[in-house]
Structure 1
């Protein structure tokens, strides 16, 4: 699949309607310093819910851990024009990682999403980076992007992403696939749109997914986000499934039947945070402040794209790879770096 221009990135996820730029730019209140992730976007939305502030605060503080996910010594990021990249004033970039902890998958990050929150916070822009994207890894030559995680865990992946895009990664959030299952069950299941079906013969197990809308429990949701072998574009298709799942989980976790149910709130918060790891500079207090500001967010404010690539190929070592669209990646980096993603083109869609 060629993705050499902006329009080619406007892929439909979840069967939703595209949101016009003028709609996305309408005034919204109270949205600032947004931390979004596979989990974190919904973890603390309930901080003000009926008497559960103390309990949720205790649960989050007890469950969430901090590790050195950012490089210990941050190197300056230099833009192509030779000027240092501004550290602030151009939005905030979060690298959100999901690791599949099944035997044989340890040490790899199967979900790599860059979340850009603009300075004006009118949208939350999520960019999926296919794990087979063939990139330069500092100190290791060229390899698949998720090999950076295997070689040097999160700090090396951060350096790789910064070199690729010429942007600063401000924060890192990590979870694992087990949390997907538990969170889904905690909210009573999710309704997800599948662009294509899968018959249960691939790496998603025996769960059958039909094209169109699917009501999934935790076990089925886990199979939905894991499957790639039977999908038409492999990891690319799986990435779109994962983004569709994130959106579905967000909608269910913020639905009235969830946020007014203390038992669901407690179960979901525990499931979402028990495997959540934050970088060494991001505190639970920061997340709590952000959670309060998220109370007005709407589903149409969360938009998605896939990082630009030109097609598929084979590495010198014989591995299947996704070939980077160099110009497209440079354009993407400039748009993030200058906080002009709304001017980047009709790249983002809402699942």
Structure 2
């Protein structure tokens, strides 16, 4: 099934987080498409699980998070187009230390935790240890804490889905933290100072225009969705020949889910208090 054409006024940005502290060569354990609809003034954020498998689904090598490392960014863009039906206009790749640097430069990020945390994480590349201690509720995280928060999954019944939702929380928080007129004007110089923290094909000179576009879209018009195996018949768990846990997708169901969610994200509806809102997501257990 060929992907449906998308309107030119929609801008799709691919955000990738690689599982390395300093290198940019690794598995993309964060795969997030940020789709900005300029016509409706809405943002649709879609996350895919790293364990989603392709082809024979016979082991680690068939996971979607291995595509970039093995075949490069263009192959991953084509794969995501095939899986979701969404074209990718631009991409951004960041590693652990890059996330730390960006968040620290912005003064931290505020997130809402659905539980208490006391967990330890190791950067395998550098043997650095992180201990994350958080209270339930609102917390302001520095860069290192935000990386750990976005990696946590072992103590949640939601597993990788919980991690995906936390990653989306961090992105939401960064948007709120970074979008001020003064910061947008100085964005090119700020990004130049962080040039070693990330890679992107987005023109740096166009960042202020993108920032102003994002600034004009209020929080209540941002929709966060995750493709996962809970509550929808989108994929099923399997074990690969090498013991890897894999999610075999129903591609037709996923494309329909993405298109339906995309359409819904541009339509206002009433919240519990009867107020118009655009917010719809399936991470409700992790967002306040």
1:155 CA displacement: 1.3
Partner residue of 2:81 out of 136, 145, 162: 162
- Aligned pairs for 1:173-252 within 5 A: 173-203=92-122, 205-252=130-177
Q: Tell me if 1:150 matches 2:69.
A: yes
1:107 CA displacement: 1.6
| Aligned equivalent of 1:55 | none
Distance 2:193 2:102 in 1: 5
Task: Report SS of the residue matched to 2:86.
Answer: coil
Contact kept, 8 Å, 1:308 with 1:325, in 2: the verdict is no
Q: Tell me if 1:284 matches 2:204.
A: yes
- Per residue, is there more strand in 1 or in 2? 2
1:175 CA displacement: 2.0
| Aligned equivalent of 2:274 | none
- Aligned pairs for 1:1-351 within 5 A: 78-79=2-3, 85-86=4-5, 88-89=7-8, 91-102=10-21, 106-136=25-55, 143-203=62-122, 205-254=130-179, 259=183, 269=191, 273-279=195-201, 282-309=202-229, 310-335=235-260, 341-342=265-266, 347-348=280-281, 351=287
* Residues 232, 304 of structure 1: alpha-carbon distance in 2 compared, 3 angstrom cutoff: same
1:130 CA displacement: 1.1
Gaps of 5+ in 2: 123-128, 230-234, 270-278
1:112 CA displacement: 0.4
Distance 2:103 2:40 in 1: 27
Q: How many aligned residue pairs are there?
A: 263
Distance 2:79 2:159 in 1: 23
> Relative contact order: is structure 1 or structure 2 higher (C-alpha 8 Å, sep ≥ 6)?
1
For normalisation by structure 1, the TM-score amounts to 0.62
Contact kept, 8 Å, 1:186 with 1:267, in 2: the verdict is no
Contact kept, 8 Å, 1:305 with 1:348, in 2: the verdict is yes
Task: Report SS of the residue matched to 1:160.
Answer: helix
Distance 1:162 1:259 in 2: 33
* Residues 294, 132 of structure 1: alpha-carbon distance in 2 compared, 3 angstrom cutoff: same
**Which stretch has the larger CA shift, 237-246 or 104-113?**
104-113
Distance 1:141 1:108 in 2: 11
Task: Report SS of the residue matched to 1:173.
Answer: strand
Contact kept, 8 Å, 2:150 with 2:163, in 1: the verdict is yes
For normalisation by structure 2, the TM-score amounts to 0.74
**CA displacement, residues 109-153 of structure 1 (integer Å, 9 cap, x when unaligned):** 12100122225142111101111112339xx99821101122212
Contact kept, 8 Å, 1:125 with 1:348, in 2: the verdict is no
Gaps of 5+ in 1: 1-76, 80-84
Distance 2:193 2:163 in 1: 23
Distance 1:199 1:276 in 2: 29
Task: Report SS of the residue matched to 1:192.
Answer: strand
1:177 CA displacement: 2.2
Contact kept, 8 Å, 1:183 with 1:268, in 2: the verdict is no
1:158 CA displacement: 1.1
**Which stretch has the larger CA shift, 321-330 or 268-277?**
268-277
Q: Which runs of 4+ in 1 moved over 6 A?
A: none
Distance 1:277 1:299 in 2: 26
